Each structure stands twice: as structure tokens, then as C-alpha cells.
Amino acid sequence: MLGLAGWVTFWVFFAVFVFLGFYGARWRRGNLNLLHEWALAGRRLGIALAWFLIGADLYTAYTFVAVPSLVFAKGAYAFFAVPYVAITFAIAMLLMTILWDRSRERGYITAADFVQDQFNSVTLALLVALTGIVAELPYIALQIDGMRAVLEVMMAGMSSATTVSEVALVVAFIILAAFTYTSGLRGSALGAVLKDALIWLGVISLIVIVPLSIKGGFSTAFSIAAQHKLPTGVETLKPVFLAAYESTFIGSALALYLYPHAVNGSLSAESRKALRYSTALLPLYGIGLALLPLLGILVYGSPSALKLLSEFPASERGLLAIPALAATSLPAWFAGLVLLGIFVGGMVPAAIMAIAQANLLVRNVIKPFYRLSERGETRAAQWASVAFKFLALGFVFVTPLTYALQLQLTGGVIILQTLPPVFLRLLTRKMEKYSLMAGWAAGMLSGILLLVYANHFGPIKTTLYPLFGHPFYIGMIALAINLAVVGLGTGIAYALGWRPR
Amino acid sequence: MGGLTTGEKVAIAVLLLIPVVFYMVYPAYNYASPELLGVPFFYWFQTLWLAISAVLFTVAAVIWERGLSREEKR
């Protein structure tokens, strides 16, 4: 349980965060009745803000709750997050700058806009848009899990802690929905700066203070962790997980910029140059991401954190690991700040993701079938962003806190199936649209079947499936099937006389 | 990528691919020692490569944007 000073700093800075969220509406003022002003902050983010905003997409509850929890529970495999962030920015530098150029030329706001224009197909764009909306839901749910983990640690030991934390979560969501509605992406961009300052402060202080407070520092924590025989290895990765490690980081790296929120973030950059430089510098952001999994190991060396965790069911302990470490090893007022960082670290990305979903729904699902004025388009998106947030919140209340990272990896399996019409189209025109639809269907079907099968028809605990005796990330298996169908279909189309426009 | 010379294109491709190749070549980093402040090699060496990646990518970005702005001036 967090001391009083911690509660004070938590709520004071939460108030500052909320102020920034609403103040965003006035900042670099634009006509918020226009969708690109509301959803892309008028495309006016320079190198620094684009860096923060795109970093905020990456630096989410995924990073400071889900990845450390997977290290805590499974060991070295979870470190795939590090090569993932390095490689994803190489991909983004190449592809997102091309998309940025085309979007500026042709007025695209979403990846589905691009698909619709390039293939002249409402159906294919609809598939891409719906895939994006669905894939984003488990990712938002993961953010909410992170926020819930913070509240549970803050209230540990209190009577009726679960009810109170659920009420607090709902209240936080109403506030979030209100400022996303009024300020759009501007509110999130400003909130992201505060959030990042708090997160960096938290990561750096924890990584310095915790090892110093443990006798023998990291060596002790690693050797205690080794005694727990984590399944994928502790000091190194067990060789049998090589394929799992590599296919997961490649799959995650390919998936990130297919997510609607990452497309949205990239298109909000003020220039191609700002986007290129901020992307090139983003791996630096990943260093904090690399330190967090190490904290998942350090928990094993901290008796007070382990004691706090022992009050919770074993299955939830992983997710609570970092909040518990902050609450037990830092002075209360400071722990309050760090916990707030983790809390808003779930809120900001959840807002950005819901904005991106709303864009897709309005532009690519509703608009082709129902005429909307510019103002009506923006209103619809604002309300949709509210609806999506509460949909995800409902999702969280009915699923257990465990295996949060698998939520994101499940989203990855789904979103990867849009790679051919989006990423490949940026590089080549030689793909035929019906083959892309067939490839999408084959990839989606095989991905979902493998997920269901690998988890024995139960809740999703793994996103790996063994091939030739080695586990592989299901997203990559499904993408390979998808690509094979696209290639085959396009080959047949060529044979029948089809030629790229 | 129009407007870049072949030399620039090759340089950019190589700079972007170096980290990808490094992380794919798993025997390059899957060791416990040498440790750094008690952290096994597997963890700190991969982390160090994030900083190296940022440097390589920034160099690639400079070459790229210079090439494009030269093109736009013409």
C-alpha cells in the first residue's frame, strides 16, 4: 500500500496531466471541426514532438508492465522487445516516409485511405480498416491492464480494494474520453510529454536505486531468478527458443507501423524530414524499454517487493511486478510520481489508439456508404473514440489480469495480415487486389485457428506454435500463408492477362 | 527513393540492415559473460546495440534527406 505522500503527488500530477489534456485544444490552435486537425493535430508536429508522440505509442503499458511481467514469469524470451524496437524503426524510416509523402499529396489520413485510392477498391480498404479497428482493441485492453495494476498496488491491503480500483478506473476513463473528445491528438501529444518525463524519471531512478539496495546488486537478483528456473532461460536464452525469439521480434517489428495509431502518429509529423529524423532517433527511446525487463529480474532480489506480491494471486504477480517494486523501494512521494507515470503511460496510448480507430471507422467504414459533412465526420469520430475506449474497458473487466503481453501479440497476428496491401504496395504495384483479399482471408483464418489450437481452445496464454520442433510466432506463420496466397493469386491473374495499372 | 545516387542508396540500405543482421545472428550475443555490473552479456549487449542503431539510422537519415533536398533544388 502506498503512503499518504504518494497519494498526494499522484493526484496532484494527475490534475496537471488532465489540465494539459484539455489545454491541448488551445495549443497551436486549429479548426477542430476538421478531422485532420482533430485527429492529426493539424500535421504540425516537429521533430521533438513527433518523437515524443510516436515514442508514446511505443512506450506504453506494453513496455513497463507487460514486458517486465513476461521476463518475471518466463525469462529471457521477453527480451525480444529490444531487437523489436531497433528493427521497427529501420522499417519505419523506409516505409512511413514514403507513406507520408503520398498522404500529403493525396490527403490520406489512414492506411485504408491509401489502400482505397491505390487499388480503387472500397472492399479492400474496408478489410484493412476493420482489421485495424479489431487489432487495436486488445492493445487498448493491455493499456487498461497496466492502469489497473497501478491502482491495485496503490490500494493493496485496503478493504474493498478491487471495487475502489474499478471505480477509479472508470472515472479515469471518463476524464480521458472527455479530453480526447475536446482536444483530439493535440491533448495526447502534450500529455505524452509529461508522461515521458515521469517515465524516464521512474526508469532511471529504479534502475539505479534498486540494485544499490540489494546486496550484490544485479548478480544476486540474477542468481535468485536462476533458482526459479524460468522456462526460457535467465542469463541467456535457451537455444530451443531461438526461432520463437527471432520470429516474435521480426513479427512485432513488422506489425507496429501497421497499427492505426502508429500510422496516425507518423502522419501527424509536420514534414517528411521531421518524421525521418525523429524515427532515426527513436531507438534511443528503446533503451528505457530495455532497462524495464531488467527490473523484472530485479524483483527477485527485493524481499519487500516479493512480500507485497505474495499478497496477490500468483497469476497476477507478473503484471504487478514493476508497480510493486516502485511502491516498496522508493520514498512514498516519489513512488507516487512513478506510479502516475505508469498510469498515464497507459492512458495516453489508449487515447491515441481510440482516435486512430475512430478515424478508420468514420473515413473507411461509414463514409463510403453514408454521406457526411466535414463537421459531421469529425463529430462522428469524436463519439466513436469515446465508444471504443469504453468497449476496451468492458473487455478488461471480463478478462483476467494475466498474460497481458499475449493481448498485444494477438493484436499483432491480426494486424500483420494487412502488410501486403499497405507495406508491399508502398514498394511495388505488382499485386492484384482479389489476390490480396484472398491472402488476407487465408492469413486471418490460419492465424486465428493456430491461436485457438495452440491454446487448446482456452484463454490466450501463448502466441507461439511449434513447427519442426521449434516454437514460432503465429503472426509470422499466418503472414507467410497470406503472402503465398497473394503471390499465387497474382501469378494466376498475370497468366489470365491482368497487368498492373 | 528517386533522386538518390546509387552510392547513397547502397549506403542507406547497408546502414539500415546492419542492426537487423546483428540481431538475427543470435550466436553474436547469447552469452552470460562478460557481465556488466552483474548484468549478463545477453542483456547489456543487445541494449548497447539500440544506441548503435540510433547512430546508424541517423547517419542514414542525413544521407537520405541531403540527397532528396539536392533533388528538390534542381
Cβ–Cβ gap B50/A283 under 8 Å = yes
Q: What is the per-residue burial (b if ≥16 Cβ within 10 Å, else e) of B14-36?
A: ebbebbbebbeebeebbebeebe
Indicate whether B1 belongs to any domain: no
The pLDDT confidence band at residue B70, using thresholds 50, 70 and 90, is confident
With 80 as the cut, is the pLDDT of residue B50 above it?
yes
The reported pLDDT for the residue numbered A73 is 84
A271 Cβ under 8 Å from any chain B Cβ: no
Q: How many percent of chain A have pLDDT more than 70?
A: 92
Cβ–Cβ gap A246/B50 under 8 Å = no
The reported pLDDT for the residue numbered A34 is 67
The reported pLDDT for the residue numbered A403 is 67
Cβ–Cβ gap A290/B46 under 8 Å = yes
The reported pLDDT for the residue numbered A27 is 66
Chain A residue with minimum CA distance to B16: A90
Q: How many percent of chain A have pLDDT more than 90?
A: 19
Q: Which residues of B touch A290 (CB under 8 A)?
A: 43, 46-47, 50
CA distance A308 to A326: 11
Cβ–Cβ gap A90/B19 under 8 Å = yes
The whole-angstrom distance between B64's CA and the closest CA on chain A is: 9
Residue B42: C-alpha distances to residues A113, A235, B36 (Å):
42, 7, 10
What B28-31 contacts at long range (C-beta under 8 Å, 24+ apart), as own/partner pairs, is: B30/A236, B30/A237, B30/A239, B31/A236
Q: Which residues of A touch B38 (CB under 8 A)?
A: 211, 216-222
Residue ranges of E strands in A280-406: none
Chain A residue with minimum CA distance to B35: A219
The reported pLDDT for the residue numbered A400 is 63
Q: What is the pLDDT of residues A425-440, one digit of tens each?
A: 988 888 888 999 999 9
Q: What is the per-residue burial (b if ≥16 Cβ within 10 Å, else e) of A206-219?
A: bbeebbeebeebbb
Nearest CB to B43 within list A79, A281, A283: A79
B5 Cβ under 8 Å from any chain A Cβ: no
The C-alpha cell that represents A107 in the structure block? 490527403
The pLDDT confidence band at residue A499, using thresholds 50, 70 and 90, is confident
The reported pLDDT for the residue numbered A402 is 61
Indicate whether B69 belongs to any domain: yes
The pLDDT confidence band at residue A125, using thresholds 50, 70 and 90, is very high
The pLDDT confidence band at residue A159, using thresholds 50, 70 and 90, is low
Average pLDDT of the residues in B51-68: 89
Chain A residue with minimum CA distance to B58: A280
B15 vs A168, more confident: B15
Residue of B24, B53, B65, B68 to mutate, testing the A interface (most A Cβ within 10 Å of its Cβ): B53
Cβ–Cβ gap A293/B43 under 8 Å = yes
ipTM of this complex prediction, to 2 decimal places: 0.91
- Evaluate whether A59 touches A345 at the Cβ level (below 8 Å): yes
The pLDDT confidence band at residue A148, using thresholds 50, 70 and 90, is confident
Nearest CB to A236 within list B30, B38, B51: B30
Average pLDDT for chain A: 84
A254 contacts: CB under 8 Å, gap ≥ 6: A88, A91, A416, A419, A423, A479
Q: What is the pLDDT of residues A367-385, one digit of tens each?
A: 888 887 878 888 888 888 8
- Evaluate whether A337 touches A198 at the Cβ level (below 8 Å): yes
The C-alpha cell that represents A175 in the structure block? 476524464
The pLDDT confidence band at residue A398, using thresholds 50, 70 and 90, is low
Q: What is the pLDDT of residues A49-62, one digit of tens each?
A: 767 777 767 778 78
The reported pLDDT for the residue numbered A254 is 94
Residues 50-69 of B with CB under 8 A from A: 50-51, 53-54, 57-58, 60-61, 64-65, 68
Q: What is the pLDDT of residues A216-269, one digit of tens each?
A: 788 888 888 888 888 888 888 888 888 889 999 999 999 999 999 888 888 888
A45 vs A262, more confident: A262
Average pLDDT of the residues in A299-321: 84
For residue A218, give the nearest of B54, B47, B22, B13 by alpha carbon. B47
B25 Cβ under 8 Å from any chain A Cβ: no
Indicate whether B27 belongs to any domain: yes
A27 vs B26, more confident: B26
With 70 as the cut, is the pLDDT of residue B46 above it?
yes
The reported pLDDT for the residue numbered A69 is 85
The reported pLDDT for the residue numbered A133 is 93
Q: What is the pLDDT of residues A2-35, one digit of tens each?
A: 778 888 888 898 888 888 878 776 766 666 666 6
Residue A41 is which amino acid?
Answer: A
Domain that holds residue B47: 6-73
A219 Cβ under 8 Å from any chain B Cβ: yes
With 70 as the cut, is the pLDDT of residue A42 above it?
no
Chain A residue with minimum CA distance to B66: A273
Looking at residue A501, the DSSP 8-state letter turns out to be -
With 70 as the cut, is the pLDDT of residue A126 above it?
yes
With 80 as the cut, is the pLDDT of residue B13 above it?
yes
Number of CB pairs, chain A paired with chain B, less than 8 A apart: 107
Indicate whether B50 belongs to any domain: yes
Q: Which residues of A touch B61 (CB under 8 A)?
A: 93, 276-277, 279-280
Helix/strand/coil for B14 = helix
Average pLDDT of the residues in B35-63: 89
Cβ–Cβ gap B57/A237 under 8 Å = no
Q: Following DSSP, what letter does each residue of A32-63 receive, concatenated?
A: TTSHHHHHSGGG-B-HHHHHHHHHHHHSSHII
Q: Which residues of A touch B43 (CB under 8 A)?
A: 79, 290, 293-294
Number of folded domains in chain B? Answer: 1
Chain B residue with minimum CA distance to A89: B57
Cβ–Cβ gap A89/B53 under 8 Å = yes
Q: What is the pLDDT of residues A440-464, one digit of tens each?
A: 999 999 999 998 888 887 777 788 8
Cβ–Cβ gap B57/A291 under 8 Å = no
Q: What is the pLDDT of residues A72-100, one digit of tens each?
A: 888 888 889 899 988 999 999 889 989 99
B11 vs A22, more confident: B11
The reported pLDDT for the residue numbered A84 is 92
Q: Which residues of A touch B35 (CB under 8 A)?
A: 218-219
CA distance A419 to A53: 23
The reported pLDDT for the residue numbered A152 is 85
Cβ–Cβ gap A219/B38 under 8 Å = yes
CA A141 to chain centre: 10
* A466: enclosing H helix or E strand: strand A464-467
Q: What is the pLDDT of residues A402-422, one digit of tens each?
A: 667 777 888 889 999 999 999
